Amino acid sequence: MGFEVLKKDAHTHARRGRLTTAHGVVETPVFMDVGTLGTVKSLEPRDLKELETQVVLGNTYHLMLRPGADIIAAAGGLHKFMRWEGPILTDSGGFQVFSLAKMRKFTEEGCHFQSHLDGHAFFLGPKESMAMQRVIGSDIAMVFDECLPYPCERQRAVDSVERTLRWAQRSKDEPHADGQMVFGIVQGGVYDDIRRHCAEELVKIGFDGYAIGGVSVGEPEAFMYQAVDASVPYLPEDKPRYVMGLGVMHQLAECVARGIDMFDCVIPTRVARHGTAITRKGNIAIKAAKWAYDQGPVEEGCTCYCCRNFSRSYIRHLLACNEILGLRLLTIHNVWALNRFMADLRAAIDEDRFGAFLEEVRSYKN
């Protein structure tokens, strides 16, 4: 297991890589599809294989609440429970307890919180998070961290990062599942020097990969890129780099140009459930009345099952009638759109034309 850089772009920091995990090889840069509760919403594992999904994400917080550690352990881990044979990455739950706002309280040991389901009291810290990820048996486990809000005062960022670093060390010291890699998470808000400090200290601890967290939490896009620029130079060249929570095409390309290898986001499945299709030239609201008679595919030139077989008119009809097939077909298209985008991006790096690819993506930016 490990990571290998196969090729670097001559004009940017973009790179092609290969991450070998206990459940298979991942070609990078990669977009990872989110399966929070052990499923990518509305899709079966065989769908994911056909859509060329490489990695599925599970979420420690949500899986701890439902179905719980005992049930996943009885199934032999999440791979067997959900019948997915490929790699799985698990979030630590840090972002989820951050999002609970008034329902949580941080201490040095971790976070006391109330379940968003029924208000039941729970506790999650480095020890508990890593124990749950060990039961899940994910190929990549994330350290438990504190996600900072935007905006955030400097002193709070300083204090939070120091706690995140202590938690990172504790997370690494906990037992892990066989073959399980562990990634550290760089925090620091919009403060470049704090992010640099966090990155350098995480590297001293030593992890299998490094994520950049605390982005896509409401900050302007420029601050997102700033967080990446403030972190990447201090992360090892021979380890994968992962920006958490990004799923917009031009943002993916811009971050790849900055040296990022891995991404995840709920956008493909979430917007599908609201009747929106992702395309290279921007999102399309399929529910709009102008598509009522349109017999063309969701996206011209797309080769997914949805676009090969069904029209915008038909999918709009399904959505208007609240038929499950409508959101399933849009999800198939959206997942394929992101996975195919990343495959084309990898090919552009391989073929020394990433610069032209990036400019084309910028021209399509919404």
What are 281-329's pLDDT values in tens digits? 999 999 999 999 999 999 999 999 999 999 999 999 999 999 999 999 9
User: How confident is the model at residue 198, as a pLDDT?
Assistant: 98
Q: Is 264 annotated as catalytic?
A: yes
Residue 259 pLDDT greater than 80, yes or no? yes
Sign of the CA dihedral 33, 37, 41, 45? Answer: positive
- pLDDT mean over 266-290: 97
Residue 98 pLDDT greater than 80, yes or no? no
Q: Which amino acid is at 271?
A: V
Per-residue confidence band for 112, with pLDDT thresholds at 50, 70 and 90:
confident
CA angle 182, 144, 161 (to 5 degrees): 110
Domain with CATH 3.20.20.105 in the chain: 2-265
Q: What does the alpha-carbon distance between residue 31 and residue 56 come to, in Å, rounded to a whole number?
A: 9
Per-residue confidence band for 101, with pLDDT thresholds at 50, 70 and 90:
low
Q: Higher confidence at residue 119 or residue 8?
A: 8
Q: What does the alpha-carbon distance between residue 55 and residue 107 come to, in Å, rounded to a whole number?
A: 33
- pLDDT mean over 335-342: 98
- pLDDT mean over 343-354: 98
User: How confident is the model at residue 266, as a pLDDT?
Assistant: 96
User: pTM above the 0.75 mark?
Assistant: yes
Residue 102 pLDDT greater than 90, yes or no? no
Residue 96 pLDDT greater than 80, yes or no? no
User: Percent of the chain, pLDDT > 70?
Assistant: 98
User: How confident is the model at residue 213, as a pLDDT?
Assistant: 95
Q: Higher confidence at residue 85 or residue 114?
A: 85
Tens of pLDDT, residue by residue over 137-171, are 999 999 999 988 899 999 999 999 999 999 999 99
User: How confident is the model at residue 103, as a pLDDT?
Assistant: 66
Helix or strand or coil: residue 147? coil
User: Percent of the chain, pLDDT > 90?
Assistant: 90
Tens of pLDDT, residue by residue over 169-191, are 999 999 999 999 999 999 999 99
- Catalytic-role residue among 145, 208, 261, 264: 264
User: How confident is the model at residue 1, as a pLDDT?
Assistant: 82
User: How confident is the model at residue 100, as a pLDDT?
Assistant: 64
Task: Return the CATH fold of 2-265.
Answer: TIM Barrel (3.20.20)
DSSP string for 234-297: GS-TTS-EEETT---HHHHHHHHHTT--EEEESHHHHHHHTTEE--TT--EETTSGGGTT--S-
Q: What is the mean pLDDT of the chain?
A: 95
- pLDDT mean over 340-357: 98
CB 310 within 8 A of CB 317: no
Q: What does the alpha-carbon distance between residue 249 and residue 95 come to, in Å, rounded to a whole number?
A: 23
Residue 5 pLDDT greater than 70, yes or no? yes
Helix axes 312-320, 324-350, angle to 10 degrees: 140
- Catalytic-role residue among 91, 139, 208, 261: 91
Residue 227 pLDDT greater than 60, yes or no? yes
Residue 104 pLDDT greater than 80, yes or no? no
User: How confident is the model at residue 93, as a pLDDT?
Assistant: 84
Q: Is 91 annotated as catalytic?
A: yes
